[in-house]
Amino acid sequence: MLSFLIQIANQFENEHGYRPNVLYINPQHFKSLRDALSEIKDLDALTRFLGMEIVLSNESSQPHLAWSPIEWKHAVVV
The pLDDT of residue 78 is 46
Domain that holds residue 9: 2-66
pTM: predicted TM-score of the whole model, two decimal places: 0.85
Query: Is there a domain that residue 39 lies in?
Result: yes
Query: Is there a domain that residue 10 lies in?
Result: yes
The pLDDT of residue 60 is 85
Q: What share of the chain is helix, strand, coil (3-state, %, to 5)?
A: 40, 15, 45
Give yes or no for residue 76 having a pLDDT over 60: no
Residue 63 and residue 48: Cα distance in Å, rounded? 18
* Domain total of the chain: 1
Residue 59 and residue 76: Cα distance in Å, rounded? 14
Query: Is there a domain that residue 11 lies in?
Result: yes
Query: Is there a domain that residue 74 lies in?
Result: no
Query: Is there a domain that residue 76 lies in?
Result: no
pLDDT tens by residue, 25-51? 999 999 999 999 999 999 999 999 999
| DSSP code at position 64 | E
Query: Is there a domain that residue 73 lies in?
Result: no
